Structure 1
């Protein structure tokens, strides 16, 4: 509850308003859609048409089946043009900081276990968006944006979200994530990230890593041919990494890292490269499960795309797109914070249970809908939050180990959320 209260107080503060309005004259007139109301409205997991969501919002504000207040879609669009998307970034940074200061954290071998992964989402057709973000393929007609997030896989919190044009490389976006890491963190990456210069930046930050690496380099081929399952290898700084290190004025010396071979159920082998070179503290047997935990960030993208519908944009401007993305990310992190509070209310399960259970994330998001408005607009007391947490704690989903599904290729699907046709509920 403290996290929600801190967020609410900031939304209503004059200093926060002054820092995130476009001009000093913005939000000074006595309008129905004030700055706090605009922020609260955008945090309410918008999925329907803007007009339908506005009607619902003011019904909640007035605690009425049908509010007498009326705000048009045009008025909302005009109001959001006065707002900077950086307001949601600052609120998310505050939430993350407060979460790590107050929550009981789940760690792996004493490390905060983070994962980095990128994703591409299709944008509405707009010349402004096409010029700013570009498109995924040369023959594509619609613009696309590249996302990258630094995600705490054990605590379900997105520590950092980067939003860039499609042409931006995933490594460059991941490099920005390192500014949000701390000494002793362990970061997991897929096979698109390994590069000697990239390893070196982690070492400079005293941040450990584990990455899947492609089998084509000679050093990897030699390791696989050796038949070993673990080895400490010198990685020389060559070609592109050498140029990058010289450009960034960092050491060009070789770096000693660990290679680990993991045999998959399919009979194939994958190779991991890691800075965890202590063989006693990190035996080879733990790496398969360690790398598998990277799947948490993939699941989080599913929450963002399928539950919060981040691709269902409400704007065709660059600023509007950034507002939508960062607002829904903040809503997702608020849900994760509520789930953390709900865990303390779960009764100890009976020993007869066949599987472990976890709180249903989708249900938590559903229960925050409208209630987040009540909290951020100071319409609810502590009792409502406790009731909400209690209800969330009772919606459990079974954890079935070793489940596998074939991933569907959605690249050629048409636009799922055309601007002309918005959901009514």
Structure 2
């Protein structure tokens, strides 16, 4: 019998939600959609879509139907065609997967869940944007836009952004919009998920007076890396050789103040922190954490490095979950696939997070610490996710099986590894090197 951890109860809640009448009424595209009992009910379509659809839809449908019908404890499913699925999915609002992610989030950040990791009492979040290459169709080009490379070949792309808990590996919010949409605009849309005692880490593309003002006005702390040439104040700080100072910044003269609650004479207090890297490079961090006794200067190098978690997430999203392998060419199908991948990532994370105690026991007598192999864990979820989320299946059995598979397949954490970043490989459209031990699990 499995130990019922927080993720177990989250899965129980998801089972109820996915097959509820309320979710149909809220996330069908029209009032007449899913009003009659059909071969492909709303909940059944959601199950099919979360089952890592990376192969031909015809093959995935055949595998889905055969798997469910082979399990005596699951409701049998009649075979349906690719055309039937395409028609049905157009009746499902893509936001349903954002909602399912929120079910996970709301039932994870609770007082009784002792596995939640904090740093100095903060939930450490990070925001970063990225580009996602889409199928080259006229509809998607008009909807999202395109970028040009050196040969003037247009590539259809969308701008994506996530608000990510780097210590607990959870996406709190996600956005996809036109390529021309500013990353700061998308970042501020995530504010619906901001909470007291959040500390948000940003890279160099985000600093602006207005951006920092929005955080301070909402009572949210931030840590932003800025260029050494960001402003005269920053330049003077770097030249001074000091480790940290508290100073005031003001809006630029050319800044538009229309509709703003501040003017050119409105100061913002910030703390500048200098971080000297082994390479000799100087990094400057700007933060709202002004109290040097409560938040000593020495913690900021480690704190900013935590931002690397969001880079790891994007690697998993694109290279392990293969979010770019879309199952359709319409805007609805693109958004469904994107938000569905975020939901699957969160589902995997809550199961992995609950295994920390078992990992600690496993690491007790080993030279290196070990972690769950995320690539294999997604592979183990394939098909098993159907049993996890189907009400008829025994949740205890499949949950226990997954936990054992995750624990048995771990990889060592090798500290102080440093791979030199090759920025030019993407500028010249050179594909990154794929190591020989990297195999797809899906």
Q: State the TM-score, normalized to the length of structure 2.
A: 0.89
Deviations 1:119-155 (A, max 9, x none): 1011001111111111133834231011111100100
Q: Give matches, 1:1-400, under 5 Å.
A: 1-63=8-70, 69-101=78-110, 102-103=112-113, 104-137=115-148, 139-216=152-229, 217-239=231-253, 242-243=255-256, 245-250=257-262, 253-346=266-359, 348-349=361-362, 351-381=364-394, 382-400=396-414
Aligned partners of 1:24 and 1:214: how far apart in 2? 52
Aligned partners of 1:356 and 1:256: how far apart in 2? 41
Aligned partners of 2:175 and 2:40: how far apart in 1? 29
Instruction: Identify if the C-alpha distance between structure 1 residues 215 and 140 changes in structure 2 by more than 3 Å, giving closer, same or farther.
Output: farther
Q: Please give the secondary structure, in 2, of the residue aligned with 1:281.
A: coil
Aligned to 2:435: none
Aligned to 1:405: 419
Q: Please give the secondary structure, in 2, of the residue aligned with 1:311.
A: coil
Instruction: Identify if the C-alpha distance between structure 1 residues 315 and 412 changes in structure 2 by more than 3 Å, giving closer, same or farther.
Output: farther
Instruction: Identify if the C-alpha distance between structure 1 residues 387 and 206 changes in structure 2 by more than 3 Å, giving closer, same or farther.
Output: same
Aligned partners of 1:260 and 1:284 also within 8 Å: yes
Q: Please give the secondary structure, in 2, of the residue aligned with 1:83.
A: coil
Q: State the TM-score, normalized to the length of structure 1.
A: 0.92
Aligned partners of 2:428 and 2:26: how far apart in 1? 41
Residues 341-350 or 396-405, more deviating: 341-350
How many angstroms does 1:290 deviate by?
Answer: 0.8
Aligned partners of 1:340 and 1:376: how far apart in 2? 19
Aligned partners of 1:398 and 1:61: how far apart in 2? 36
Q: Please give the secondary structure, in 1, of the residue aligned with 2:349.
A: helix
Instruction: Identify if the C-alpha distance between structure 1 residues 261 and 404 changes in structure 2 by more than 3 Å, giving closer, same or farther.
Output: same
How many angstroms does 1:378 deviate by?
Answer: 2.1
Instruction: Identify if the C-alpha distance between structure 1 residues 68 and 368 changes in structure 2 by more than 3 Å, giving closer, same or farther.
Output: closer
Aligned partners of 2:168 and 2:129: how far apart in 1? 19
How many angstroms does 1:223 deviate by?
Answer: 0.6
Residues 217-226 or 22-31, more deviating: 22-31
Aligned partners of 2:153 and 2:95: how far apart in 1? 30
Aligned partners of 1:346 and 1:394 also within 8 Å: no
Residue segments in structure 1 that go unaligned for 5+ positions in a row: 417-422
Aligned partners of 2:372 and 2:409 also within 8 Å: yes
How many angstroms does 1:383 deviate by?
Answer: 2.0
Aligned partners of 1:363 and 1:395 also within 8 Å: yes
Aligned partners of 2:61 and 2:27: how far apart in 1? 22
Aligned partners of 1:343 and 1:393 also within 8 Å: no
Q: How many residues align?
A: 415
Aligned partners of 2:147 and 2:154 also within 8 Å: no
Deviations 1:287-316 (A, max 9, x none): 111101100000000010011000111111
Aligned partners of 1:60 and 1:373 also within 8 Å: no
Aligned partners of 1:345 and 1:390 also within 8 Å: no
How many angstroms does 1:361 deviate by?
Answer: 1.8
Instruction: Identify if the C-alpha distance between structure 1 residues 56 and 291 changes in structure 2 by more than 3 Å, giving closer, same or farther.
Output: same
Aligned partners of 2:132 and 2:430: how far apart in 1? 12
Aligned partners of 1:306 and 1:386: how far apart in 2? 27
